Structure 1
Amino acid sequence: MTSFFPSRTVSFYMGRMFLIRTFGILAGLMIVLLALNLLSESGKILAVPGNGDGEVWRYASLRAPELIAFLFPFSVLLGTILTLITMNQNSEIVALKASGLSAHQVLAPLLVASFGVAILSFGFNERIVARASATLAQWQQVNYGPLPIDRGDRSNVWVRSGDDLIQVAQIRGRGDAAQLGGITLYDREGGILRTIVTAPRGRRDGDGWRIGPAKRFDVARGTVTALGDLTVGQGVTPDQFTLATVDPNGLSFTALQSAISDLSEAGRPTKSMEGALWHKLSAPLSSVLMPLLGAVAAFGIARSGKLFIRAVIGMGLGFAYFVADNFALAMGNLGAYPPFLAAWAPFLLFLLIGEAVLIRSEE
């Protein structure tokens, strides 16, 4: 292992330089994008009666994790290029090559550091980003109003029961243990709305759902009647509520696996969800590609005047990967690519491109 890496001192020096630049760029880009996002959303937040600075900061705290996850690979790419350009200008790369190190050995500390960043990115996505995305999506569905919804719950689900429509503001749990909150039943006959039944909570009861304490509003008479508990939605299964809206961005890897299993058992299509599941692994690992794609900035004589062009080529390769990744995901969602191919094909393709660039640099 020691023969593959430069000396311990050089490895720590390169790794520290790379991490400092990567996280510095990440912080700068995140602050800029968050500020721009707040400019567009703060007006909507403050337009809701009762909202103030606290709600704006709450939005920032929910939006920031999404931006960090989005910017992680970009920051690794730019951090790699900046690190290698600095070392090239200071003739440190030349010194390492002159000592007998290959291009792979020169990049080894950056590859190890980027792999650590990939692990950190995956854990950050699982523990923070998924929860923040789910909460923010629920808050935006109520137009930044009061949010009586716990993290991870499904919200604003519509189900049809015969001619009737059932809207549920909140669903907790799965299967027969599912709990409904904020139920509104639109009772229709022949497409004409007759009554509206509302209830704060509901649970599974036989083949239907027992809700209560219910109130009925008669559209024609304009009267409200207290009904107590009653059973509605005969024939409506729990998966129609719990699987009506599955947002991959708001679920962790294991939670999305469970949702895909439930969808498959219910006979629902799962191809796009499977692609999103694989992408939860390939997206963080894209950080490992960035040192390979940015390596073109490391090799070559700095005084030749082409260092800037090399940096631009490195950035172009990195951004080409992100374009190919988004394109493959879109094709996977359309069913044109298998889920595994949609998530991993760009990664494998640009891994080969990065290796080709590195081997060319050796020659």
Structure 2
Amino acid sequence: MTIISKYIARALFKNLLTILFAVVVIYVAVDFFEKIDDFMAAKIPLLTVGWFFLLRIPFVAAQVLPVGVLLSAMVVIGLMAKHNEIIAYASGGGSSFSLLKPIAVMGVIASLFLFAFNEIIVPATAAEANRIWYDDVRHEGDVGTKTTWFHRKGLIGRVDKYIPETHTARDITLNYYDASFKLIKRIDAEDATISGNVWTLRNAMESFGGRASETRQHKELKVEMNFTADQLHERVKRSDEMSLVQLKEHIHKIESEGYKAVRFRVDLASKISFPLVCLIMSVLGGAMALRGKKGEGMAVNIVMGMGLAFAYWVVHSLCLSLGYAGMYSPIFSAWTANTVFAVLAAVFVYELA
């Protein structure tokens, strides 16, 4: 590595850390003021509140790392231009194109780091943060106070109230469907005791074909189900709480039950495509800053960088939304923004070369 490459690499790393720290602090501060009323209303201990916001940092850092890479590249080039270092380098026979090499290397390293970070650190911290927020603060995991719906292949069930301590359920409805999603049987029961996969229903009424005339009354009816008591109050995992392998297994589980997993497939493709934006943004930001007109300072570069980051998020979010709606394929929706900005980066690099 040349002296100039080492110089740029050190400056990039220093500015990246500074930008990341500033953005994460601002994000967490805004998040704190948005959520503190909910924590106070739920009477959550102060230590738990602090732990929650500490757990939020990895997820936030992973989301803003591409922006940090982009801005650090543009800031470093802007500072070098301000101090006439680029002119001095060019007068010594160096090319502006060669200055992109350490920036691109940083982009590759950042992409690899982000991929590993999203696989190892983010799922664990996001899962615990979401547990605190949805279960402890908003009580969405308290199935004893709300109706719970569940489904398996050929079955959609409803439990009006579940009591985890006694493994008992109240007001149960089980709807059985065939492959064409036609109702073939329905069971309504006052209560049930759940032991493993066996549900013992009491005061149950069994109807067939959706017709009330074809019914059977049971004081007690044992039903074997591929569904345990623990799964009744198990909160559904979100995509950011799962690694690639876990997300693939979750998709397979959903689809094996006969349901579509479009949203999770889009998130799976996005987990692969998103880390590469660090490389794309580093090259794009560096090339744009290097081809800027003389006199354009660091402030102009920062504004351009923020504009690029905003444009990427608009395109990426729009494509993901279209993918969730089933209008785009998961791969197309996850890779469109990367493709557009990679082409834009290639154009700037070509002009620079």
How far apart, in 2, do the equivalents of 1:292 and 1:11 lie?
A: 15
Which protein, 1 or 2, shows the higher relative CO under an 8 Å CA cutoff with sep ≥ 6?
Answer: 2
| Residue of structure 1 equivalent to 2:112 | 119
2:283, 2:345 within 8 Å by CA — same for their partners in 1? yes
Inter-CA distance 106–8: structure 2 relative to 1 (3 Å threshold): same
Residue 5 of structure 2 is aligned to residue 11 of structure 1: yes
TM-score scaled by length of structure 2: 0.76
Q: Deviations over 1:320-343 (max 9, x none)?
A: 122111111111111111111111
- Counterpart AA for 2:264: M
| Residue of structure 2 equivalent to 1:253 | 244
Inter-CA distance 148–112: structure 2 relative to 1 (3 Å threshold): same
Map 1:157-176 onto structure 2 (within 5 A): 158-159=149-150, 165=159
| Residue of structure 2 equivalent to 1:187 | 171
How far apart, in 1, do the equivalents of 2:242 and 2:148 lie?
A: 17
Q: Percent identity?
A: 22
| Residue of structure 1 equivalent to 2:343 | 352
Inter-CA distance 162–353: structure 2 relative to 1 (3 Å threshold): closer
Inter-CA distance 69–43: structure 2 relative to 1 (3 Å threshold): same
| Residue of structure 2 equivalent to 1:263 | 254
| Residue of structure 1 equivalent to 2:326 | 335
1:115, 1:287 within 8 Å by CA — same for their partners in 2? yes
How far apart, in 2, do the equivalents of 1:46 and 1:245 lie?
A: 25
Q: CA deviation at 1:246?
A: 4.5
How far apart, in 2, do the equivalents of 1:163 and 1:253 lie?
A: 29
Give the secondary structure class of the aligned counterpart of 1:187: strand
Q: How many residues align?
A: 315
How far apart, in 1, do the equivalents of 2:83 and 2:332 lie?
A: 42
Equivalent residue in structure 1 for 2:27, among 27, 33, 39: 33
| Residue of structure 1 equivalent to 2:208 | none
Residue 315 of structure 2 is aligned to residue 324 of structure 1: yes
2:148, 2:159 within 8 Å by CA — same for their partners in 1? no
Which is further off, 267-276 or 20-29? Answer: 267-276
Flag structure 1 segments of 5+ consecutive residues without an equivalent: 1-6, 150-155, 170-179, 217-229
- Counterpart AA for 2:70: L
2:149, 2:156 within 8 Å by CA — same for their partners in 1? no
Flag structure 2 segments of 5+ consecutive residues without an equivalent: 175-185, 204-219
Map 1:118-157 onto structure 2 (within 5 A): 118-144=111-137
Q: CA deviation at 1:249?
A: 1.3
1:96, 1:106 within 8 Å by CA — same for their partners in 2? no
Q: Cα RMSD (Å) of the superposition? A: 3.7
Inter-CA distance 183–131: structure 2 relative to 1 (3 Å threshold): farther
Residue 266 of structure 2 is aligned to residue 275 of structure 1: yes
Inter-CA distance 37–77: structure 2 relative to 1 (3 Å threshold): same
Q: CA deviation at 1:71?
A: 1.3
Q: CA deviation at 1:167?
A: 6.4
Give the secondary structure class of the aligned counterpart of 2:196: strand
